Amino acid sequence: MKHKQILFFILCLIFQSSASAIAKDNKPISTDSTSLNIATLNMNMVNARYSLILEAREDIFKSEQSLKKLILTANKEIDQLNKDKNAQDISTKQKNIQASIDKAYLDLEEKKKNYNDQINKNIELSLAKIANNSNYDLILNEVYTVSSDQDITDSFIEELEKLKR
């Protein structure tokens, strides 16, 4: 979401400056002798091809499945405990079961956070490197552009793979 807000802000600035540079006859007025070097990036393709994202999806899916199995097993154990009618034993065992579920859930959330942090860090580093090496003034997500003359998606994915871990 943060990236979309930044891109939207940048687009608004571009459109605002473009609108102010339009004369009454709808011809652009050149306000600067230099032009922006703009590249585009297909983030949908990055999401579909970057191995760390694919690995994260698979790993998180497996962890979510394990958590679901743990919860099902815990529910069965609690049902069995309730049938036994030993109140003191039930309370202790329920607390232990809940503690194991809570730990598994927290571990899953931590795993998601770690993957997100690593992916975002790699994206930022790769964008900065490509922008600096190719002297891009602006890199936009392809969905926000009309044309994509300088699509850098493939080179961006290659750069991401170098930083995978």
Burial (CB count within 10 angstroms: exposed 0-12, middle 13-18, buried 19+), residue 123: buried
The average confidence (pLDDT) of the chain is 81
The proportion of the chain whose per-residue pLDDT surpasses 70, expressed as a percent, equals: 75
Q: How far is CA 40 from CA 28, 48, 144, 161, in A?
A: 23, 17, 9, 19
pTM given for the model: 0.70
* pLDDT over 50 (residue 26): no
Between 21 and 84, residue with greater pLDDT: 84
Taking Cα atoms as reference points, which of 144, 165, 143 lies closest to residue 9?
144
Axis-axis angle for helices 87-134, 51-84 (nearest 10): 170
Higher pLDDT, 97 or 107: 107
Residues 117-137 pLDDT 10s: 999 999 999 999 999 999 999
- Segments making up each domain of the chain, as ranges: 2-162
Selected residue with higher pLDDT from 35 and 88: 35
